[in-house]
Structure 1
Amino acid sequence: MKKDIYVLGTGLSHNGSSVLLKNGRVLVGIEKERLSRIKHDGGNDSLTTEYCLKAAGIGLDEIDLVVQCENFVIPSKNEFKGPRVFKNYPDEKFVSISHHLAHAYSVIGTCPYKKFNVLVIDGCGSPYDQCNDENLPDLKELNLNFSDGLICEKDSYYHYDGTKLHTLFKDFSPLNTQKSPWLPTTNHSIGGFYSAISHYCFGNMDDVGKLMGLAPLGKPEIQHEAFYFEKGRVFLSPQWDQPLTTPAHHWEGFKQNRQHYANMAFWAQREVERAVEYILESRLKGETATPLAYTGGVALNAVANSRLIRKGVVNQLYIEPAAADNGIALGCAFYGWLEIVKGKRQIHDGSTCFGSSYSFSASKETINTLKNCSIKELDEENLLEQTARLIADNKTVGWFQGGCEFGPRALGRRSILANPSNRSMQDHINSHIKFREDFRPFAPSILPEELHNLFQDKLNSPYMVLVDRPIDSAINQLAAVIHVDGSSRTQTVEKEWNPRFYKLLKTLKKHTGVGAVLNTSFNKKGQPMVEKPEEAIDLFLNSAMDALVIENHLISKQSFVY
């Protein structure tokens, strides 16, 4: 019998994570924030490594290879922001790879295409002298030299021919060394620019998703061009930050000048779309027959992604669901399997749900916590029927199923669900369940076969990284999941890897006439998505959520009878 081969990939920058492959397929993966309960947590990887080992039921001595990545340094096997679990295993084989290479291999491992181009755009990658890519450009050709300071990856473009990754173009930029808080990345970073405006509006560089939600409330009053373009490269203008005159230092300040910040978000979104489109047109040079795989934090900008498709800049587009740094561990693992172990590339099943499963254990402590609730254990048919009826009756339902999603989007494993036709649900969930800003939109999760009945562009979007526009006759059916600009960030639910969520939508369609549900991540403001049942129960009990489904158990605050 052949020995199983285990490869562990681990990312140690912000949005840290670990992923374990068994014979070239994802066995388990987890983001550190889900375990530490600190959003965007990174650094030391002991928590995530131990989680993967426990889920796999193996010891560290059974790991054949560890591949790691951190943005600026090569971490020690024994120590990185605290002791690492590898310290007592001196024979563990360790490999370090650079940032954009890890991003690229995350799509090589998960992309459904055989041959494709790869685009990476993010905030900041590895320093030039730590890059593992073949055919690195001569810095003189980019008018750069080491006297400029630390030179780091800005965007990268590759071709994967089915067996090997070829570097086609890489751009670099000096790391920003000014004391201005606006750009703590490279001097000409698209992702860094967007993070800077997030920091300006919300006081937090990591709220870029929130910025995308705010942008449609803005007006095109800022005409200043943040970027200029030259010979296929994108640069920030010398006076790019001229409009940044009144940063919001707290929520009250934001509310008092809300329209200004909305206008800033509108401007930032427009400028990012312009820059990304230029890069792609420059790289593709009109050749759109070859599929494109897209990753890096900027690839999570669903509005920009959809614009590329609508304008015909790209025809076949795969976007890595964990495109930000949480996907680095995935790329490390696949690099190890393909390039070090020399394993065969396996076609991924499309799932992003790499976490461990939990059963609902009704201990005495749990029963006491839920003493004022109804708890029912149901077979699947009755569970789906009663859950669908609750949603159709305008109740909010926490939905906790199987292993958690890997990446920033709730795709039907750690979700809060509601009736998409009830317009008041947006305010209710934002105010009384998630306790977050009132402008934050929600997504519709839909049956793929319903696309033609509901949306104009009919974009297949299993990972919630594209936006579409409802057709006129569907606007009332989707009132709670249409943003102020008439768009919706959609998820088309895949039956193959999300079967119970798919069945729920089929059941819901019988009650509402539409195969769609309002879906938002199972968390409240400032917290990661719930990982364990007790975290789901805590939010359920301390919010206005009406019911909670954990595997086959339906828990409600009143005894709903159907």
Structure 2
Amino acid sequence: MIVLGLATMGTSAACLVRDGVLVAAIEEERLSRIKNDGAFPLRAIAECLRIAGAAMAEVDAVAVYWRPWAVGTRIRGTLGRALGSPAAFASMATRTRASLLGGRDRDARPEEGGSWADLFRIRRILAAAFGQCRAEVAHYDHHLTHQLYAEALRGWPTCLSLSYDGGGESDSTVLTLVENGRRRDLRRVRWPNSLGHFYSTFTGYLGFRMLEGEYKMMGLAPYGEPRLRDLLLERVLRVGPDGAYAIDPALCDYHRALRGDFPPALAALVGPPRRPDEEPTEGHLVLAASVQAAFETAQRRLLAWARAAHPDATRLALSGGCALNVTANGRVLQSGLFEEIVAPPAPHDAGCAIGAALAHLAARGLPAPDVTSPYLGPSFTDDEIARAFRDLGLPLPRRADEAARVAAAVETLASGGVVAWHQGRTEFGPRALGARSILADPRDDAIRETLNAKIKKRELFRPFAPSTTAEAAGDYFELAQESPYMNILANVRPAKRSVIPAVTHVDGTARVHTVTAEANPLYHRLITAFGARTGVPVLLNTSFNIQEPIVNTPEEAIRTYLRSDIDLLALGGFLADRPWREAAEARA
């Protein structure tokens, strides 16, 4: 049986499950090269079929992450807001047109990339693109698809499962108790009350691109004091002791914010907004810290209420776009409310492609496949990599076996150099997890400025993340569990902060990535070898890209390497270094 799972708007993606095995999953952006691409994922579908060696005619079922007919709450909320605010009406009219007709150009906002109408004509679109399509098409509740993906990572018999984001068909937050295969919703918060919209609105207010720059505000928050937290909780985000919450739309108007338009009353309350090109002021730092603190308060009250009522639910599965807030994830683990937490490598809408496939299998009484590996995209043979060099008119670099690649990378890193690491299958989700990574020595604090100025070209306040072996993680980080998907914040042990300053944020924390030999043998071998060479089994790990989606193909890796100041490219079985670069440039 072949099941194709789809997420078709927001950050679109596809996955393919064949005979109980998750064969492939990839986001559309990795193939279109459009950040957060929300277009119907035709490229991702084609790539999943290619990896699986299957044709569309062989697909038995297409599972979709949304029930498009179940949107009464959204329609009523949209009409209510439109009638009460001319500015909101203009924004909603633009977004409604985009969602119905689709926005396909590079200037379209991510959430405008897909078409709502596409959800009603899935089979017709697939038949037009791929030929015969005989598959059953099934639609599933948006938040359920989020939750099932997260829950499948551990398979706990009892847990709490929290999905929260901008909003699903009717709800923006769903908290569920899972007990021995049975599900019971404990709390559903109706849209437009949304923690995702709350956070995104202030992302825009602080001068970052909404639905893309939230991680920038999260990185900025530790530089400020949350002095406005209580004011925000009193006036903007009202949270009850049972975790129910409501947002004042007169102050936090998400739809107006998408157009860069903010109510004057909000500026009177929290200070003026930041222009995108403006250096953050102390007031902006305070606001970022306060928004993060208010967000965490709302999350914590909801979870504390549920835990008090269900003391046996000692584990938590987190999902939805808000689960990308690694700071909140880490804080809830540190709070002691739960013994263990988990969030998927793709907790945002892209991950719903896998969740939809899981929902379909569950509805048919079939077991869930193993979804723990994030390495679900394409890999490339050395012949394909050699062809990429030749197609670009470049000489072939030297070939190297795994031992030689590891040795060369370790020597480069230990000498203060930067390594681009393109090995194995592409990761699924927004994190580089040692397959498409840029690596550096975390012991050198100056390497952060080098990476930002010469390679990544990003804001200096944004932290870099560490990768470490699962065996060594406890020596460097106050983390009592594994973090295989780089989505849990942890305190760096005080004695180690001066040892790995390049991955220690201003507040003494780090977004930890723990690596096991089973999950990624080659990357684990590299970190271990670096530890043997330096005494520190930790690497600075950031995504292999420069203001673009993470690289996928060998050609993209080569081009990005050549327009950067990276010292060594380990691309499959090839090593390209500075002498090779000089020879290639001379030849050109």
Q: What TM bracket, shorter-length normalisation?
A: 0.7 to 0.9
Conserved 8 A contact 1:288-1:314? no
Moved more, 258-267 or 541-550: 258-267
For residue 498 of structure 1, what is the aligned residue in structure 2?
Answer: 520
Tell me the distance in 2 between the aligned counterparts of 1:270 and 1:535.
Answer: 39
Distance 1:457 1:60, change over 3 A: closer
For residue 256 of structure 2, what is the aligned residue in structure 1?
Answer: none
What are the within-5 Å matches in structure 2 for residues 182-221 of structure 1? 186=192, 188-206=193-211, 207-221=213-227
Q: Does 1:229 align with 2:229?
A: no
Conserved 8 A contact 2:60-2:136? yes
For residue 160 of structure 2, what is the aligned residue in structure 1?
Answer: 117
Distance 1:413 1:162, change over 3 A: farther
For residue 487 of structure 2, what is the aligned residue in structure 1?
Answer: 465
Task: Please state whether the residue corresponding to 2:452 is helix, strand or coil.
Answer: helix
Q: Does 1:156 align with 2:156?
A: no
Distance 1:234 1:86, change over 3 A: farther
1:259 Cα offset (Å): 3.1
Q: 2:146 pairs with 103, 124, 129, which one?
A: 103
Tell me the distance in 2 between the aligned counterparts of 1:312 and 1:92.
Answer: 46
Tell me the distance in 2 between the aligned counterparts of 1:71 and 1:394.
Answer: 52
Tell me the distance in 1 between the aligned counterparts of 2:393 and 2:503.
Answer: 31
Conserved 8 A contact 1:469-1:486? yes
Distance 1:219 1:332, change over 3 A: same
For residue 521 of structure 1, what is the aligned residue in structure 2?
Answer: 543
Conserved 8 A contact 1:547-1:554? yes
User: Scaled by the length of structure 1, what TM-score is found?
Assistant: 0.85
Tell me the distance in 2 between the aligned counterparts of 1:38 and 1:559.
Answer: 30
Conserved 8 A contact 2:388-2:555? no
Q: 1:171 pairs with 168, 182, 189, which one?
A: 189
For residue 134 of structure 1, what is the aligned residue in structure 2?
Answer: none
Q: Which letter maps to 2:460?
A: D
What are the within-5 Å matches in structure 2 for residues 299-338 of structure 1? 299-338=323-362
For residue 530 of structure 1, what is the aligned residue in structure 2?
Answer: 551
Tell me the distance in 2 between the aligned counterparts of 1:285 and 1:163.
Answer: 21
Q: Does 1:248 align with 2:258?
A: no
Conserved 8 A contact 2:420-2:439? yes
Q: Does 1:545 align with 2:566?
A: yes
Task: Please state whether the residue corresponding to 2:377 is helix, strand or coil.
Answer: coil
1:78 Cα offset (Å): 7.9
CA-to-partner distance for each residue in 1:505-526, whole Å, 9 max, x for gaps?
Answer: 111111111111000011112x
For residue 28 of structure 2, what is the aligned residue in structure 1?
Answer: 32
Conserved 8 A contact 1:447-1:505? yes
1:476 Cα offset (Å): 2.5
For residue 402 of structure 2, what is the aligned residue in structure 1?
Answer: 380
For residue 399 of structure 1, what is the aligned residue in structure 2?
Answer: 421
1:310 Cα offset (Å): 1.4
CA-to-partner distance for each residue in 1:131-188, whole Å, 9 max, x for gaps?
Answer: xxxxxxxxxxxxxxxxxxxxx2121122334444333332213xxxxxxxxxxxx2x2
Distance 1:71 1:217, change over 3 A: farther
Distance 1:421 1:288, change over 3 A: farther
For residue 17 of structure 1, what is the aligned residue in structure 2?
Answer: 13
Q: Which runs of 5+ in 1 are unaligned?
A: 127-151, 174-185
CA-to-partner distance for each residue in 1:482-519, whole Å, 9 max, x for gaps?
Answer: 11111111111121121110000111111111111000
Q: Which letter maps to 2:134?
A: D
Tell me the distance in 1 between the aligned counterparts of 2:388 and 2:215.
Answer: 37
Q: Which letter maps to 2:425?
A: G
For residue 46 of structure 1, what is the aligned residue in structure 2?
Answer: 42
For residue 59 of structure 2, what is the aligned residue in structure 1?
Answer: 63
Distance 1:556 1:374, change over 3 A: farther
1:302 Cα offset (Å): 1.2
Task: State how many pairs are aligned.
Answer: 511
Moved more, 6-15 or 222-231: 222-231
Q: Does 1:295 align with 2:329?
A: no
Conserved 8 A contact 2:385-2:554? no
Tell me the distance in 2 between the aligned counterparts of 1:477 and 1:558.
Answer: 31
Task: Please state whether the residue corresponding to 2:31 is helix, strand or coil.
Answer: helix
Q: Which has the larger share of helix? A: 2
* RMSD over equivalenced CA pairs, Å: 2.4
1:84 Cα offset (Å): 3.7
1:470 Cα offset (Å): 1.9
Q: Which runs of 5+ in 2 are unaligned?
A: 70-115, 253-265, 582-588
Q: Does 1:277 align with 2:292?
A: no
Task: Please state whether the residue corresponding to 2:456 is helix, strand or coil.
Answer: coil
